[in-house]
Amino acid sequence: MAPALIIACGALARELTAVIGANGWQHVQVQCLPAELHNRPEKIPEAVRAKIHAARGRFAHILVAYADCGTGGLLDRVLEAESVERLPGAHCYEFYAGTPAFMALADAEPGSFYLTDFLVRHFDRLVIRELGIERHPELASQYFGNYRRLVYLAQHEDAHLRALAEQAAERLGLAFEYRFTGYGDLERSVIRFQRGALSDPSAE
């Protein structure tokens, strides 16, 4: 079977590996870019393009496991030029929650800050340290002053992660809301990608 590649944000590595393992897809590989790129979204499109070019000739099928992720459509321009599909939605929060549920959350409270399992695990590194709040606590009010609540979109029902998410909300001075999503549209999109690869005659 022809090898297939998922080029992914590092924040999705654990979940993608779990989906692939659960389905026994030994021909599907995952290559990740650093999750820290979310703090510099303008760098995501060219980083993804470089991964695609490096994979050409070695993989018959490629999926990009990013949403738009703050690139303002620039990632889609790269993927259109490269004829590669990505996950649907504007943010990973959207495909975890599902678009209707995510839009309802955003409409109910536009000032929502979202965490996933990955972001809960790495909250101190990716939020507190990366944004300089550890050195300058006063920056928290500047970054999060317009937010009203923290919504934890959980991929696993884990009491420890939930407690850490509640602590994060308290640290930022935000109301806390918990939603269990599982893998949501992430899993469904990967399964569709796999089916598409299998139905392609060149995959034989």
The per-residue pLDDT for range 45-98, each reduced to its tens digit, is 999 999 999 999 999 899 999 999 999 999 999 999 999 999 888 888 888 998
Token output for 22: 């659960």
Task: Decide which of 36 and 160 is more confident.
Answer: 160
Q: What pTM did the predictor assign? A: 0.85
Decide if 10 contacts 34 (C-beta within 8 A): yes
Residues in Cβ contact with 17 at an 8 Å cutoff, skipping those fewer than 6 apart: 30
CA atoms of 123 and 116, how far apart (whole Å): 10
Tell me: the pLDDT tens digits for 109-131?
999 999 999 999 999 998 999 88
Domains within the chain, CATH numbers bracketed: 4-90+185-203 (3.40.50), 99-180 (no CATH)
CA atoms of 187 and 203, how far apart (whole Å): 21
Tell me: the pLDDT tens digits for 149-159?
999 999 999 99
If DSSP codes are grouped into helix, strand and coil, which group holds residue 30? strand
Pairing of strands 149-154, 112-115: parallel
What pLDDT is stored for residue 204 in this prediction? 44
Phi, psi of 201 (to 5 degrees): -55, -30
